[in-house]
């Protein structure tokens, strides 16, 4: 299989006295259709690595290849455009914009990309909400939805521009077990049924057990890569 | 970029609509600033225009008098300009007063497009009546031409300039002078000039009180009457010129003075001190009003600054979605522009209302009801809007820059 995203000697060091190495010499590849989890103790650099992979943070060393092209050194606008087109993010907190309805939140990245017209945007938003079972809550604002519903809306938003990579930072961290299982099922489906590459940082070993690839980290380094 | 504007503007509007109280305060600040700017500038510019119109209309646009800016040079100096002997303290030749070859000057002045030149002779006389004496500066005019050159006719309480032609030895004096002498319309007073000539003059018109530009001690007679009374037949010492465009007065007066040598004063030169006062007044007005608009923009700064601070989480999530730094700055600048725009619209309405109130106020001056002269031109509305929008953009842009400095990693990780 072709690697959609590949880290080569990736590192992130915070300047200071002494400098802090958040991520140190990380190399691995992520393929389409796989559900990958990154696990490790708190402060081991899991989330830092995820933000480097998602082009939210910038590595201080190493290469990051997106479909074979090194994107580590791109400027802010180019990285923003890549995030818009190829990445979807789901965080521990839903981070929905409180002034907007569920549908408006979902279609925000589509409107920003500007490739669809008004009616098509709305239809795409409804379809995405339907895929997470929330099409009936399209007009509800986040404050009138449960935690699980908000997180599913956030997943729908992450899929807005049909990204090839979906990155999750503790996406079930704030959910009860029932909602947590539902979200994991959704994420697995994104990988296995839709052919996307899904990478999730998690503390939850039960979720990690569901993954196709489990990356274990310690002190900013990858210490183990297990495949099922 | 343009296709993204509706989206970014929509986000900005949502932010504003959620902060109603702050929005109302910021919009009110701009509206009050714009409203008072319009009201104050309408009064200031209205009174200035009225004042300048009075200056322009009170007297001819150019007055050519029998004075010279500098005394004529001695023949020896003119011939030996760079001679080895320097002449100092020589006696200046006394020129005979009166404009020489004045018909040629009149022709030259009348040749200017739309110009009318009016000849006159002025001099001092003393009025006598029943043992009382009053000094009067008489101006001999041709009423037919003078009515086309100046607005004296409008300043008459009773009588007309043409009455100087129909009534023998007629004179028009001010109401104050008539009161001091105890005379009225049709009464006869005796006038004696410096040349020793005495004439009986009949009052055929009275100026209104308070016409300072005419002078309380001025009086009008027929030109030939003045020439006879002052003992200067066929002589005039002043030509008043009215131009179609008063703002060409400076240029035309310079040309006439250059050609004939006599002092030709434009209305601008005569009123230079007043005009410089107006400049100072305008500087003060625009400084004060700019300060009001600046203070109004602080409200916008506060709203946008708070918005940026409160929306750090939203900024971070939008960055992760793929919104660029420029997009986020535009959202917050758009908030400032929207606040300023709404403020300007309310300010225009407030300013219009204030002008209506000011325009309806009556002030009794010298027995007549006067209204405040107001300038309601679109220019002031445009200045107020431009200044407010500019201030709004700057006030929003300063905090908006902070939005691009928000580090999404810190916020997304810590859920700050």
pLDDT digits (tens, 9 = 90+) for A63-111: 999 998 999 889 888 999 999 999 999 888 878 998 899 999 999 999 9
With beta carbons less than 8 A apart as the criterion, state whether B253 and B108 touch.
no
CA distance A157 to chain B (A): 9
Q: Does B1 touch chain A (CB under 8 A)?
A: no
Q: Of B34, B23, B19, B21, nearest to B295 (Cα)? A: B34
Q: Please give the pLDDT value at position B170.
A: 93
Q: Which of B11, B15, B413 sits opposite A47 (nearest CB)?
A: B413
Q: Does B326 touch chain A (CB under 8 A)?
A: yes
Contact B322 A87 (CB under 8 A): yes
Check pLDDT > 60 for residue A1.
no
Check pLDDT > 50 for residue A160.
yes
Place of tokens 């004063």: B265
CA distance B313 to chain A (A): 7
CATH superfamily, region A3-227: P-loop containing nucleotide triphosphate hydrolases (3.40.50.300)
Q: Please give the pLDDT value at position B370.
A: 83
Q: Which of A56, A100, A157 sits opposite B408 (nearest CB)?
A: A56
The phi, psi pair for A227, rounded to 5°, reads -115, 145
The dihedral of CA B195, B196, B200, B201: what is its sign? positive
User: Could you tell me which chain A residue has the CA closest to the CA of B415?
Assistant: A93
Name chain B contacts of A169, Cβ cutoff 8 Å.
Answer: 412-413
Check pLDDT > 70 for residue A196.
yes
Burial class (CB in 10 A: 0-12, 13-18, 19+), B151: middle
CA distance B51 to chain A (A): 55
Q: Please give the pLDDT value at position B416.
A: 45
User: Could you tell me which chain B residue has the CA closest to the CA of A76?
Assistant: B324
Name chain A contacts of B327, Cβ cutoff 8 Å.
Answer: 112
User: Could you tell me which chain A residue has the CA closest to the CA of B4?
Assistant: A112
With beta carbons less than 8 A apart as the criterion, state whether A16 and A60 touch.
no
Strand, coil or helix: A224: strand
Q: How many degrees, rounded to 5, is the angle at CA A62 between CA A56 and CA A66?
A: 55
Q: Please give the pLDDT value at position B408.
A: 82
Q: Where are the domains of chain A?
A: 3-227
Q: What is the pLDDT along chain B (416 residues), one digit of tens a residue?
A: 677 888 999 999 988 888 888 889 889 989 998 998 899 889 988 988 888 887 777 778 899 998 887 766 667 666 777 777 776 776 666 666 788 888 999 999 999 888 999 999 989 999 988 888 889 999 999 999 888 888 788 888 888 888 998 988 999 998 888 888 888 999 999 999 888 888 899 999 998 766 655 567 889 999 999 999 988 888 899 999 999 888 899 999 999 998 888 899 998 888 888 888 888 888 888 888 778 778 878 888 888 888 888 888 888 889 888 898 889 999 999 999 999 999 999 999 999 999 999 989 888 876 778 888 888 889 889 988 998 899 889 988 988 888 877 778 878 776 44
**A5-56, pLDDT tens digit by residue?**
999 999 999 888 888 889 989 999 999 999 999 999 988 989 999 999 999 9
User: Could you tell me which chain A residue has the CA closest to the CA of B12?
Assistant: A99
The tokens describing A127, both together, are 């379809």
Q: Cα separations (Å) of B368 from B47, B118, B330?
A: 17, 31, 57
Q: Does B5 touch chain A (CB under 8 A)?
A: no
Rg of chain A, C-alpha, whole Å = 17
pTM of the complete model: 0.71
CA distance A98 to chain B (A): 9
Chain B interface, best mutation among A112, A164, A168, by max B CB count within 10 A:
A112
CB pairs under 8 A between A and B: 75
Interface residues of A toward B, Cβ cutoff 8 Å, are: 47-48, 51, 54, 56-57, 76-77, 80-85, 87, 89, 91-93, 95, 97-100, 108-109, 111-114, 157, 161, 169
């Amino acid at each position: 299989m072709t690697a959609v995203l590949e880290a080569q000697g990736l590192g992130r060091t915070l300047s200071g006295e002494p400098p802090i190495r958040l991520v140190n010499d990380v190399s691995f590849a992520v393929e389409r259709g796989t559900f990958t989890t990154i696990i490790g103790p708190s402060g081991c650099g899991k989330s830092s690595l995820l933000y480097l992979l998602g082009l939210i943070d910038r590595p201080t060393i190493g290469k990051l290849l997106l479909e074979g092209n090194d994107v580590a050194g791109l400027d802010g606008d180019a990285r923003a455009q890549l995030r818009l087109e190829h990445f979807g993010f789901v965080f521990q907190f839903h981070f929905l914009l409180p002034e907007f309805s569920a549908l408006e939140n979902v279609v925000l990245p589509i409107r920003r990309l500007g490739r669809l017209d008004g009616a098509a945007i709305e239809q795409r938003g409804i379809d995405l909400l339907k895929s997470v079972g929330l099409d009936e809550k399209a007009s509800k604002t986040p404050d009138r939805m449960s935690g699980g519903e908000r997180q599913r809306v956030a997943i729908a938003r992450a899929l807005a521009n049909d990204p090839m990579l979906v990155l999750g930072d503790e996406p079930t961290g704030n959910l009860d077990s029932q909602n947590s299982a539902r979200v994991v099922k959704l994420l697995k489906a994104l990988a296995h049924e839709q052919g996307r590459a899904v990478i999730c940082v998690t503390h939850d070993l039960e979720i990690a057990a569901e993954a196709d690839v489990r990356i274990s980290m310690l002190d900013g380094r990858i210490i183990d890569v297990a495949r099922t | 970029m343009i296709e993204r504007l509706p989206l970014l503007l929509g986000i900005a509007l949502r932010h504003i609509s959620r902060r109603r109280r702050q929005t109302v305060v910021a919009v009110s600040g701009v509206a009050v600033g714009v409203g008072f700017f319009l009201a104050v500038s309408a009064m200031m510019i209205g009174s200035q225009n009225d004042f300048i119109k009075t200056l322009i209309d009170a007297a001819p646009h150019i007055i050519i008098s029998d004075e010279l800016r500098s005394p004529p040079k001695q023949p020896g100096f003119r011939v030996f300009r760079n001679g080895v002997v320097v002449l100092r303290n020589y006696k200046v030749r006394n020129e005979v007063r009166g404009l020489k070859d004045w018909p040629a000057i009149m022709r030259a002045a009348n040749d200017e497009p739309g110009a009318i030149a009016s000849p006159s002779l002025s001099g001092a006389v003393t009025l006598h009546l029943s043992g009382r004496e009053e000094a009067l500066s008489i101006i001999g005019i041709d009423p037919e031409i003078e009515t086309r050159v100046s607005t004296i006719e409008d300043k008459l309480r009773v009588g007309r300039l043409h009455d100087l032609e129909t009534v023998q030895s007629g004179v028009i004096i001010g109401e104050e002078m008539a009161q001091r002498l105890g005379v009225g319309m049709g009464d006869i007073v005796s006038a004696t000039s410096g040349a020793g000539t005495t004439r009986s003059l009949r009052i055929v018109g009275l100026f209104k009180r308070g016409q300072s530009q005419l002078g309380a001690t001025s009086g009008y007679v027929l030109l030939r009457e003045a020439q006879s009374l002052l003992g200067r037949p066929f002589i005039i010492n002043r030509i008043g010129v009215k131009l179609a465009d008063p703002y060409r007065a400076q240029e035309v007066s310079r040309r006439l003075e250059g050609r004939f040598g006599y002092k030709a004063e434009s209305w601008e030169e005569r009123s230079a001190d007043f005009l410089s006062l107006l400049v100072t007044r305008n500087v003060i007005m625009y400084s004060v009003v700019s300060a009001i608009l600046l203070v109004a923009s602080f409200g916008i700064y506060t709203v946008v600054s708070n918005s940026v601070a409160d929306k750090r989480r939203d900024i971070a999530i939008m960055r992760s979605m793929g919104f660029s730094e420029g997009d986020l700055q535009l959202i917050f600048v758009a908030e400032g522009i929207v606040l300023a725009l709404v403020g300007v619209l309310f300010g225009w309405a407030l300013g219009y209302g204030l002008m209506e109130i000011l325009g309806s106020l009556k002030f009794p001056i010298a027995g007549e009801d006067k209204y405040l002269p107001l300038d309601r031109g679109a220019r002031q509305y445009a200045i107020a809007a431009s200044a407010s929008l500019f201030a709004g953009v700057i006030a929003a842009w300063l905090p908006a820059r902070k939005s691009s400095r928000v580090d999404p990693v810190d916020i997304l990780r810590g859920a700050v």
